[in-house]
Amino acid sequence: MFKRVQKVLLTFLLITVAAAVKGQEVYVHVSNTDLYEFLDELANMRVIELNTAVKPYSRMMVAQKLHEADEKRTTLNKRQQGDLDFYLRDFNKELKADKNFSRRTDLFYYKDSLFSFTLNPILGLTYYTNDTGSFYHRWNGAEFHSYIGKNFGFYASLRDNHETRRLSDPAYLNQASASNYKADTQGGGDYDEVRGGLTYSWSWGSLGIVKDHFVWGDNEHGANIFSGHQPSFTQIRFHMNPVKWFDFNYVHGWLVSNVLDSSRSYYNGQSVRIIMQPKYVAANLFTFKPWSKLSASIGNSIVYSDQSVNPAYLVPFFFYKTVDHSLSSAGSNFLGQNSQMFFNISSYHVKNAHLYLSVFIDEIALGRAMDSKKQTNFVSAKIGGKISNILNKNISLAAEYTRTNPGAYRHYLLSATYASSDYNMGHYLGENSQEIYVGVTAHPIPKATVKLSYTLAQKGQEYNYSGSSRDTIGNGMGNPFIDFLWWQSSDLAVSASYQILNDCWLYAGLNLSNNEGEENSLDRYTMPYMRGKKTTISFGANIGF
Higher pLDDT, residue 162 or 7: 162
Supply the pLDDT for residue 9.
37
Supply the pLDDT for residue 375.
52
The mean per-residue pLDDT over the stretch 214-219 comes to: 98
90 has a pLDDT exceeding 70? yes
Average pLDDT of the chain, as a whole number: 89
The mean per-residue pLDDT over the stretch 211-224 comes to: 97
The mean per-residue pLDDT over the stretch 155-163 comes to: 96
Residues 333-359: tens digit of each pLDDT:
445 589 999 999 999 999 999 999 999
The confidence band for 19, taking pLDDT boundaries of 50, 70 and 90, is very low
Q: How much is the CA Rg of the chain, to the nearest whole Å?
A: 24
Is 379:408 a contact under the CB 8 Å cutoff? Answer: yes
Higher pLDDT, residue 468 or 186: 186
Q: Alpha-carbon distance 488 to 496, whole Å?
A: 26
Supply the pLDDT for residue 97.
86
160 has a pLDDT exceeding 70? yes
219 has a pLDDT exceeding 80? yes
Is it true that domain 24-543 has CATH number 3.40.50.10380?
Answer: no
Q: Alpha-carbon distance 545 to 449, whole Å?
A: 18
Supply the pLDDT for residue 2.
39
Residues in a beta bridge with 123? 140, 543
Supply the pLDDT for residue 324.
81
Give Cβ neighbours of residue 79 (< 8 Å, ≥ 6 apart).
393, 394, 443, 444, 445, 446
Q: Alpha-carbon distance 404 to 365, whole Å?
A: 16
Supply the pLDDT for residue 154.
96
The confidence band for 412, taking pLDDT boundaries of 50, 70 and 90, is confident
The mean per-residue pLDDT over the stretch 225-229 comes to: 96
The mean per-residue pLDDT over the stretch 264-281 comes to: 83
Supply the pLDDT for residue 370.
52
Give Cβ neighbours of residue 272 (< 8 Å, ≥ 6 apart).
265, 266
Span of 35-44, 46-55, 457-466 with lowest mean pLDDT? 457-466
Supply the pLDDT for residue 12.
36
Residues in a beta bridge with 166? none
331 has a pLDDT exceeding 70? no
Q: Alpha-carbon distance 39 to 344, whole Å?
A: 19
23 has a pLDDT exceeding 70? no
Span of 41-50, 59-68, 285-294, 410-419 with lowest mean pLDDT? 410-419
Q: How many other C-beta atoms lie within 10 A of the C-beta of residue 426? A: 27
Is 125:138 a contact under the CB 8 Å cutoff? Answer: yes
Residues 288-327: tens digit of each pLDDT:
999 889 999 999 999 999 889 999 999 999 999 888 877 7
Supply the pLDDT for residue 468.
55
Higher pLDDT, residue 261 or 193: 193
Span of 2-16, 170-184, 290-304, 411-425 with lowest mean pLDDT? 2-16
% of the chain residues with pLDDT over 70: 89
> What is the domain partition of the chain in residue ranges?
24-543
457 has a pLDDT exceeding 50? yes
Query: Which residue type sits at 386?
Result: K
